[in-house]
Amino acid sequence: MAILTSLYGGLNVLYSNLFVTLPIPEEAPDLSEQTIIVTGSNTGLGYETSQHLLRLGVGKLIMGVRNLDKGEKARIELLKATKRSLDTIEVWQVDSESYDSVKKFADRANNLPRLDAVLANAGILTNHFSLSQGNEKTVTVNVISVFLLGLLLLPKLRSAPSAGRFVVPNSALHYIAHTKEIVPTKNKTIFDRLNDPEQSDMANRYSLSKLLVLYVVRELAERTKLSVKGDVIFNTPNPSYCKSGLLNEPGNTAPLDFMARTTEMGSRAILNGVLAGPESNGHYLNNCHVSCPAAHVTNKTGSQIQKAFVDELLEKLEVISPGISASL
């Protein structure tokens, strides 16, 4: 089954990137009153998605960036390209390696007049083990900080005039992610194993982080469906392999260029997630459609991992921000 799942994932990337041209969104629900946050928005997929949102008429774009100077430069470029007014875009600082930074960013966002969608686009790929905030850095940036932000903003998203959206980019690499580090055991928590420098499989870590994102999106969608606190949409679209800065770290190897989408093409898939409706809630999106994820997401083992990991994640988030689980 694992071999078939991996083969399916690989063939899907080849088919998507070589034979599928994603539609350029020309129309969207009225965005003129909406406020949308895009993190990691000064470059790559986040920048291109921001440009589409501005072109489609979003009322306010909040660019969440680590470096304010680079963010301001990107803001000027976006304003020039889209001919929007100066007050359409704001640049806010947020560093996904710092939980305090994420909390300050969320506090600021919770004071906005309204918030309609969040694209949690910031992410890293590294083959080198290091700790950040007491957890392996990939897990900190790609998973913990993402959902720390999501749960801190959940009440605000619920107050949007229509269902708020929380969107996290994914990857077909989740099909080939090995689950040996995250199958629940009695001896060690999942996080303890992920944070063990002697046992961590860093070659698998980025793929695994995308698998973990998928588990959390699915679980949060289920748990919030049962809540009486209001609607919210969680989804995780796959832009597929794109020419971006994700693989810039020395030692990372990239597929051949002919197999890559441009970041603009990949951003169309992400934009689809940002604009998607309730039919996308809890789902993996591929080529702008709800798609079936890997077998190790949907089978019995996947269900066990999903619940166990999200329970551990919520415990960790409670330590970082006491009371955060109550937002569910």
| Residues carrying an active site annotation | 206, 210
Helix axes 145-158, 300-320, angle to 10 degrees: 80
84-115 as b/e: b if 16+ CB within 10 A: beeebbbbbebbbebbebbbebbeebeeeeeb
7-32 as b/e: b if 16+ CB within 10 A: ebbeebbeebbeeeebeebeebeebe
Both tokens of 181, joined, read 């580090």
Number of H helices, E strands in the chain: 11, 10
- Tell me the H-state helices in the chain: 2-19, 44-55, 68-82, 99-109, 137-139, 145-158, 190-194, 205-225, 263-275, 295-298, 300-320
Look at residue 294 and give its three-state secondary structure.
Answer: coil
Look at residue 283 and give its three-state secondary structure.
Answer: strand
Taking alpha carbons only, the member of 277, 169, 158, 280 closest to residue 218 is 280
Both tokens of 304, joined, read 């066990």
Look at residue 319 and give its three-state secondary structure.
Answer: helix
